[in-house]
Structure formats: C-alpha cells, structure tokens
A and B are shown apart, each in its own frame.
Chain A
Amino acid sequence: MKAVPDLVEEIELTPDGTGIDREFLTFVLNEWDAQALEEALLVKDATGAEVTAAGLAADPDIDQALYTALAKGADAAVKISGGADGGLQTRERAALFAAYLTSEPADLVITGVQAPDDLDGQLPPMLAACLGLPHVSVVVGVEASGDTVTVRQEFAGGRLQELRVRPPAVIGVQAARQAPRYAPITRIRQAMQAGGLRDVAATPAATVPGPSVRRMYRPEKSGHAEMLAGGADEVAARIVDLLQARGLVKG
C-alpha cells in the first residue's frame, strides 16, 4: 500500500525544481492500492484466506491507511521501516517490500498496478523480479481455489485474458470486481484504539539506478480551445456552423 499526494490538491514544486514539495500536501492512499485491498478482501471472503496489509513507515499518514484496512476486514497490518525517509522511488520500495516478504512470505502479493507518481516504474513487476516470482498486472479479478489462482487481465477495448498462475505470485490490480467497500469512521477509530499495527524492520538490497530528474514543471496550457461566447442558443448555432463547414451535417 502506498500513500500518494491527493490529486485534488495543487501540487507545488521544490525550489530547485527537481521534485514536488511534499510538506504541505495531503496524502491519501493510492487509489489502485485501495482496489487491490478490496480484491484481496474479496478473495478472503470467498476462501477464508488471511489478509495482511503492508505499508512503508516512510509514507506520510500510512497509519491511517493501515487502520482503515483493518477496519475493512484485513487480519493484520504491518508497517515496514528501513531505507531512506520520504519520497521513495518504486525500486527502493520494491527492495524494502521484497526484504520483508523474504522473511514473511505470502502466497499472493496483491498491490495496485501503478501509482500516480511512480516515475521509475510500477511496483508489482519490480517486486516480482526482486523475489523471482511470476507476476500479472492490469488485473480486474482474482479467484483462488486450491493451489491455483485464476486472474483476469484487461486489455484495451474491454478485451480480457484469463490466466491461471501457480502461486506464489505477485498481482497488480487495476480494478477490483466491485467498488472498494466502505469503512465507517467508527470502525476505523475502533481499530486505532485496539492498536494492532506491527512494526517490522527490513534491510533493502541495492537497487538498479533510476532516471535522474533534470527538472519538473507544470504543462503549459498550449493550444487552448477557442471558447465560444454566448448562451446555449448562440453556442449551438456556432457548433452547427462548424459541423456544416466540414460537411458533417447537412447544410
């Protein structure tokens, strides 16, 4: 699970222009990770599997996400410390999670297929490569029975492929089979009071280098649309003219 900046916010850049200013941002759980959690809970509902939610201590407000996971039905929550502070790149995250998972293996590692800020690549394939496990991403459904796992992988245009994978494996979830369940605030508060977050230290292995950022900037609003003036009728007239001029509407 990963905490990412809430995208409704304005995002400020650091003074040297090579990164985003994280101090005043609100962080929320990565939406794809929320989907992944839901899919994991659905597998639990169907098979009685045990779900552990794992996050990195370096992520701001990750406690909130972990307690929410417990409130939603996860059996355990783990907070992994180690590595640098804040703003970890995907490969560093993969190394930390891999170190944790090597000491506490799981049959299925489910996480979001991507995050809005994973510039150097997505977590599921990296994590799988670190652990030497098979992996499938852009998954929209996971079903486990016995010792096989069946996943549905989504392609453009609504096309799906159904794959059978032998666990242990890493799954990158695009969307769960149903919208993430709601965790009422009361239950989250109860989870917080009950405690239940386990701290784990991990030592990450060295990682491959990543891209180095020269600069970050906001896109110029180039080629902005010509705004049509007037009320509904005037604009409608204008649009019909535009279409007629191109022969798309009978003049």
Chain B
Amino acid sequence: MSGNVLVLAEHAGQQISEGTYELLGKARELAASLGGVAEVALLGPRDLAAQLGAAGVVVSVDHPVLAEYLPEAYEQALLAVLAERAPRLLLMSNATAGLDLGAALSVRWQAPLAAYVTDLAAEDGTIVATAQILGGKILAEVELPGERGIATVIGGGLPAAAGQRDGMPEVADITPPDGLDSLRMTLQQVIEPQGGDVDITAADMLVSVGRGIESSDNVELVQELADALGVPLSASRPVVDAGWLPKTRQVGKSGLKVKPRAYLAFGISGAPEHLEGMRGADLIIACSTDPGAPIFDVAHYGTTVDLFDLVPALTDRLG
C-alpha cells in the first residue's frame, strides 16, 4: 500500500485556508514516516495550486460546480481522487466540509474514520490518532486499522508554518467525474455576515465576554473597559446566541479564529469550541469564578476574582 497522505484543501475567496496548511504540515511529517509523499486534493480553481508549494503533488479536479463548496459535488470529486490516488490516509479539517464529507467517505471509501483528532503519528506503519470527545473531557488514543484511514482534525492545534512553502508544486489533473453534471443539490446563494462592524481578527488585543456576565445590561460594563483599552469587544457563542453582541464578534469554532497579542476573557468557561478560536493568542488572561474552568488550561494568567469587581477596577486604573 502507498504511504501517501492526502489532504483536502479548503479555500474561500481565492485563498487557501490556514487549516489546510496545518494539515499539510502534519501530512508531510506522516508521509515521511510512511515512506510516501503528502498530496493535496484541490477541488475547484486550479490556479490555487500556486499557494500549495509544500505539497508533494497537488491533485486537481476543476469543474465549474466546484468553484464554491457544495457537499455532493465535493464528495463525488474527492471519491474520484481517492480512487485514482489511493492514499494511505485522508486528512480533513473538522470544519463544515469535514463534518459533511468525512463520515460519508468512511462508508463509501470503506475506511475507518477517527473524528475530533488533535494529533496524529505513524508508528511502524500504523496510524495512531489522539481524539478529543465528550466536550473535551476524555481523550482517546486510537488506531486506524487496515490499509486506509480517514482523520478529521480540529483546527488551530497544529503549526501552520510546517505546511507553508513557496514554489509551484507538481500538479496532477483528474477528469471530473460524470456525476458532477447531475447533482441533486444546487448552491442558491452565499450570505456573508453583516459587515460594517469591527474585524476582531485584525485586533491587537481583545476583551472578550462569556456567559458569566449574566445579562445584556452588563455588556456595557465590559465595553467601558474595552474602550479604555481602545480595543474591540468579542464574545463566546452563548453571548452571541442570546443576541447581546453581533455574530461578527463571536470567537470560536463556528465564529472567528483570532490570534491577538493579548486576549482578556471575562466570564468565559472555556468550552473546546471557544478555545479552538483563541488558544493561539500570545497572552491569555482569564477571569472566572469557577476555579476548575477549562479556560485556565490555556490561559497564561488567571484569577477567580469576580468580574463585576475586576472590570471596574481595571477600567478605573486605565483612566
């Protein structure tokens, strides 16, 4: 069997996603152990291959219907790639595409799948993955038996730099399968989130609020601190779901990933989905009355002082 590792490339707006580079870096490492190369399946615009210099081979399937992500189209195209390239291991991110395709391909490509993977290694030809389940409470070390396997990987945990390199890789073209012309679903429109608001991914520092602020009244209290620091306010999912802040401020797996120089978290417990969005920050200071809150595992500094005492104290100090 081949020792190749295939990564599904994700792209939006003519840009390869950071998650793809993380996977590519890991793929190179694994492929080296397995005696193969790291390949990237690029479905859609062929010219994006130029951004994938670190790949051994870019396998391209270009068809108009692949220009934007569409589950059924991507599944058909990827199956064609898998049939042609027969890799040892398929890597995908745990984002929407991974949730759509991974498990389906497990059945159709007849390969065991490990989901919510945080790390992988190849031990004497066996793929071993570490997966995070039950809200992050339990880690499972699993083996993928057989001659092929699939892993969907949680983003933000692997170094992206390992997958980035200049240069143009080798490109292998695959004929788009016939099925792409007779799909049972179509893309109607893309809806971008309402703009006109701050881009929290560009901020140097973020003041972030979670469920611990208890009510929308108290957002104002923390906004004052953010203003005093001259930085934007961001939030975890519960705050956005409750409508206290717009979706554009949401940090996390289904929100935005941020890597500011400092991230101040108030009343955020640190659910895995949120941590995924901010664990890369340089300095994380967390304030939560629960000493066992998972946020303290990724924070550099923490305090259990009540945020209703701390926030005004900070605001005063900053004048």
In the complex, A touching B, CB below 8 Å? yes
Are B184 and A166 in contact (CB-based, < 8 A)? Answer: yes
Are A215 and B99 in contact (CB-based, < 8 A)? Answer: no
Indicate whether A226 sits within 8 Å of B302 (C-beta atoms), given known contacts A117-B133, A156-B95. Answer: yes
Q: Which residues of B contact A218 (CB under 8 A)?
A: 137-139
Report the separation of the CA atoms of residues A238 and B301 in the bound assembly, to the nearest whole angstrom. Answer: 10
Report which of A152, A209, A228, A246 forms a contact with B112, defined as CB distance below 8 A.
A209
Are B254 and A174 in contact (CB-based, < 8 A)? Answer: yes
Are A161 and B190 in contact (CB-based, < 8 A)? Answer: yes
Are B300 and A226 in contact (CB-based, < 8 A)? Answer: yes
B contacts with A, residue count (CB < 8 A):
94
Are B142 and A225 in contact (CB-based, < 8 A)? Answer: no
Q: Which residues of B contact A215 (CB under 8 A)?
A: 140-141
| Interface residue range, chain A | 35 or more
Report the separation of the CA atoms of residues A24 and B25 in the bound assembly, to the nearest whole angstrom. Answer: 42
A84 located at the interface, meaning its Cβ lies under 8 Å from any Cβ of chain B in the complex = no
Q: In the complex, given contacts A114-B99, A126-B103, A161-B190, what are 16 additional A-B residue pairs having Cβ atoms less than 8 angstroms apart?
A: A119-B114, A120-B106, A121-B115, A134-B184, A135-B100, A138-B99, A161-B187, A208-B107, A208-B110, A217-B141, A219-B132, A225-B301, A227-B303, A235-B303, A239-B285, A242-B283
B286 located at the interface, meaning its Cβ lies under 8 Å from any Cβ of chain A in the complex = yes
A224 located at the interface, meaning its Cβ lies under 8 Å from any Cβ of chain B in the complex = yes
Closest A residue to B230 by CB, please name it.
Answer: A249
Are B113 and A163 in contact (CB-based, < 8 A)? Answer: no
B interface residues with partner A (beta carbon < 8 Å)? 12, 68-72, 95-96, 99-108, 110-116, 128-129, 131-146, 149, 152, 183-193, 204-205, 229, 247-248, 250, 253-257, 261-262, 264, 282-286, 296-306, 309-310, 312-314, 316-318
Are B296 and A212 in contact (CB-based, < 8 A)? Answer: no
Minimal beta-carbon separation of B276 from chain A (angstroms): 10
A interface residues with partner B (beta carbon < 8 Å)? 5, 7, 11, 13, 20, 90-91, 94, 113-114, 116-126, 128-130, 134-138, 150, 152-166, 169, 172, 174, 208-219, 221-228, 230-233, 235-240, 242-243, 246, 248-249
Report which of B185, B189, B285 forms a contact with A136, defined as CB distance below 8 A.
B185
Are A125 and B100 in contact (CB-based, < 8 A)? Answer: yes
Residue among B72, B129, B282 facing the most chain A CB atoms (10 A cut-off): B72
